[in-house]
Amino acid sequence: MKRILLFATLSVFVAAIYTSSCTHKTQLAQPASTNDYPDSVASILVNKCTYSGCHNQASYQNAGMLLLDSWQHLFQGGISGSVVVAYNATYSPLLYYCNPDSALGIVANDPGHFGSHPAPTRAEYLTLVNWITKGAPDKNGVIPFSSGPDTRQKMYITVSGCNLVAVVDGQSKLVMRYIPVGTYPGNNSMHDIAVTGDGNYAFVSFYAGSILQKIDTRSDTVVGYTDLSGAAPGGQGQWGILQLSPQDTAIMVSGFQASGSLVTVNTSSMLINSKLTADIFTVGQNSGLIYPHGIANNATFDTFFVTLEYGNVVDKITFTDGFVPKYLSIDHNAPVAALNSSTRDPHQIQMTPENDRYFISCENSNEVRVMDAHADTLITAIPVGPFPQEMAMYPARNYLFVACLLDSVNRALPPSYGNIGSVYVIDYNTYQVVAILNGDFNTPHDVAIDSMDGLVYIVSENNYTGGIPAHHVTACGGNAGWYTVYNLNTLQPADHIRYELAKFPYAISNRF
C-alpha cells in the first residue's frame, strides 16, 4: 500500500449546507402513525427534538433531512446518513448533539441547536446512551435492521482510522452496525476486506499487524483469526489485498514489503496452506515478490497475477509444479520492479468474468492497462484520471469502474467545496470510457457493486491535505470520510446524501 503526502489547500464547506441548528423554514411531510419509541426515549426525542422549526414533520427537510417523530423515521437517517448505529453509542452522532457534558463524551459544537428550548439533561443523555448500547430497540424490543440475517444485502467498509468495519444495509443504504476489529495488540490500519460468495463470511487484512480476521456476516461479529507473522520478515507483513478462491475455500493475501509474501489460508480451518504460499523464507531472496499488491487468479486458483507496486511488472506465479514466478512487462519495455523506478507503478488488478483478460490500474502513468491472460501480452492502455486505485466490474453492462484518487478536474460542485477525485466508467469489451463520475468525492479510493439493488458505492477517504470538514466529528479524531451511491443504469447519483463514516474509510466489499 502506498501512502501519499498530499499538499494542496482546500477551502471550507459553505456552512449553511451542513448546519444542524434548528432555525429553518417549514415544509410539509407525512406524519407518523405512532412514534414506536420506548416511552423513556420518546419523552426525550419527541418532546425535545420535534418542536416547530426542527426535526418534526413540518420542518425536518430544512433540519438536515432528519425526522425524529418516530423510531421508523429515525432509522431513515438524514443528509449525512445514519445518526444512530445500534449497539454503538460511541459512533452514533445523534448523541453528540444531545450531550450536555463533555466529560461524558463528544459534544457537537452547535450552541444554537436547541434554541430557547431546554436541551436534554445529563440523565436524559445517559438514557439515550443506554438505549443505543442495548441495540436501540423500538417499544416492542425490535432491533433495527435485525430481520433476515441470512439474506440481507449489505456492504462492508473498512474504517481504517478507527479499527472498525462499517456494515451498510443495502435497502436503506445506511450504516446499520460497526464491528470492532484489530483487537489483538499491534494490529491496526485495515487494508482490505473480502466477502465470500455465499455471503456468510468476510475477511479483513491489516497493513500494520500480523493477523487475518474472519467475520460472520449473519451476526456481524468476529469469529476467528489466523496469525501470519511466520510468513513475513519481522512478523509484520503489511498485509494488503485479499483474493478469494472460486469456491471460497481459500483466501490469498499479499504482504507489501521489499521481500514480500503471498499467503493462502483455508477459510474454514483458518490454517495456512503451505502449497499455495510464497515468502522470503520458503523461496529465498529471489522470490520476485517486490512490494506485491493486487492479486488476480485463474479459474483453478493455481496461477496468480500479482502487481508489483513499483515498476512495470505483473508477476505471473504458478504453483502447480512448485513456486514458478515469471515477470511480465506491461508496456513492452524491459521488466523493472524497484522502489522509485518512476515507471507505470501498477496498483490493482481486475480479472474479467471469463478469465481471459485482466485490467491494471497504473497510479504513476494514470492509465488502465489491459493484458491478455493467456498470451501474457499487452492489449491496450486506457488513459484515466490521476492516481487510479481500486476497480470493480459490473458484467450486466460490461462496466469497469476505476476510482481515481487525485483527479483535480472534479468540479461537480463549486471549487470552494474542495472536491477531488473521480470515477471512470469503462466498457471492458470495447475499452471505451463510457462516463466520468465527478461527484461529492474527496480522494475516492474504492468502489463496489450492489447488483441486487442496481447501485455502485464509492468510498471517499477524505484525506486530501488532512480532509475537509464534514457534518460531525468522529470519536477517534480527524475528519469523517464518507460513501456516495450511484445508480448503475443511469450512472447518476442515487440520492444526494453524503453517508458519513468515521476516520479514513478505505476498502469496501459487497455481500451477494
Band of residue 235 on the pLDDT scale cut at 50, 70, 90: low
Which residue is associated with the grid cell 498530499?
6
Pairing of strands 367-372, 377-383: antiparallel
Alpha-carbon 38 to chain mean position: 33
Q: Residue 27: pLDDT above 60? A: no
Tell me, what's the pLDDT at 418? 67
What is the Cα–Cα distance from 331 to 36, expressed in whole angstroms?
62
Tell me, what's the pLDDT at 8? 32
Phi, psi of 280 (to 5 degrees): -60, -30
Q: Residue 310: pLDDT above 60? A: yes
Band of residue 18 on the pLDDT scale cut at 50, 70, 90: very low
Query: Which residue pairs from 374-381 have beta carbons closer than 8 angstroms and sit at least 24 positions apart in sequence?
Result: 376/316, 376/326, 376/328, 378/329, 378/330, 378/331, 378/332, 379/431, 380/431, 381/331
Q: Residue 34: pLDDT above 80? A: no
Which residue is associated with the grid cell 469523517?
480
Q: At 259, which amino acid appears?
A: S
For 300, residues 6+ apart whose C-beta sits below 8 A from its C-beta are: none
Sheet with 455-460, side-by-side order of all strands: 444-450, 455-460, 480-487, 499-503
Q: Residue 1: pLDDT above 80? A: no
What is the Cα–Cα distance from 291 to 309, expressed in whole angstroms?
6
Q: Residue 488: pLDDT above 90? A: yes
What's the rounded mean pLDDT across residues 3-11?
32
CB of 2 closer than 8 Å to CB of 94: no
- CB neighbour class for 358 (10 Å; exposed up to 12, middle 13-18, buried from 19): buried
pLDDT digits over 246-266, tens only?
Answer: 999 999 999 998 888 899 999
Tell me, what's the pLDDT at 412? 52
What is the Cα–Cα distance from 239 to 405, expressed in whole angstroms?
21
Phi, psi of 259 (to 5 degrees): -110, 85
What's the rounded mean pLDDT across residues 425-438?
97
- Which residue in 256, 263, 85, 267 sits closest to 159, CA to CA? 85
pLDDT digits over 178-188, tens only?
Answer: 999 997 777 88
CB of 319 closer than 8 Å to CB of 331: no
Which residue is associated with the grid cell 484525506?
463
The CATH topology of domain 183-383 is: Methylamine Dehydrogenase; Chain H (2.130.10)
DSSP one-letter code for 132: H
Alpha-carbon 6 to chain mean position: 20
pLDDT digits over 197-207, tens only?
Answer: 999 999 999 99
CB of 344 closer than 8 Å to CB of 331: yes
Q: How many Cα atoms are found within 13 Å in the side-chain-facing hemisphere of 482?
A: 25
End-to-end CA distance of the chain: 27
pLDDT digits over 94-103, tens only?
Answer: 999 999 999 9
Domain-by-domain residue ranges, the chain?
18-133, 183-383
CB of 70 closer than 8 Å to CB of 57: no
- Three-state SS string across 372-384, please? ECCCCEEEEEEEC
On average, the pLDDT of the chain sits at: 89
Tell me, what's the pLDDT at 230? 81
**From 9-13, 25-29, 53-57, the region with the lowest mean pLDDT:** 9-13
What is the Cα–Cα distance from 30 to 58, expressed in whole angstroms?
9
What is the Cα–Cα distance from 419 to 225, expressed in whole angstroms?
38
Percent of the chain with pLDDT over 90: 74
Band of residue 282 on the pLDDT scale cut at 50, 70, 90: low
Bridge partner residues of 394 (DSSP)? 399
Q: Residue 421: pLDDT above 80? A: yes
What's the rounded mean pLDDT across residues 484-497?
97
CA distances from 446 to 279, 310, 362 (A): 27, 20, 15
Tell me, what's the pLDDT at 466? 66
Band of residue 346 on the pLDDT scale cut at 50, 70, 90: very high
Tell me, what's the pLDDT at 473? 78
**What's the helix, strand, coil split of the chain in %, to 5?**
15, 35, 50
More confident: 396 or 467: 396
User: Cα-Cα-Cα-Cα dihedral of 339, 340, 346, 347, to 10°?
Assistant: 80
Which residue intervals of 399-478 are DSSP H helices?
none
Tell me, what's the pLDDT at 19? 37
For 145, residues 6+ apart whose C-beta sits below 8 A from its C-beta are: 75, 86, 152, 169, 172, 176, 177
Q: Residue 338: pLDDT above 90? A: no
Band of residue 6 on the pLDDT scale cut at 50, 70, 90: very low
For 155, residues 6+ apart whose C-beta sits below 8 A from its C-beta are: 167, 168, 170, 448, 450, 457, 508, 509, 510, 511
Tell me, what's the pLDDT at 32? 58
Which residue intervals of 196-325 are DSSP H helices?
280-283
CB of 82 closer than 8 Å to CB of 74: no
More confident: 51 or 418: 51
pLDDT digits over 355-412, tens only?
Answer: 999 999 999 999 999 999 999 999 999 999 999 999 999 999 999 999 999 998 765 5
What is the Cα–Cα distance from 327 to 118, expressed in whole angstroms?
69
What is the SS3 assignment for 294? Answer: strand
136's grid cell: 436501540
What is the Cα–Cα distance from 129 to 282, expressed in whole angstroms?
52
What is the SS3 assignment for 78? Answer: strand
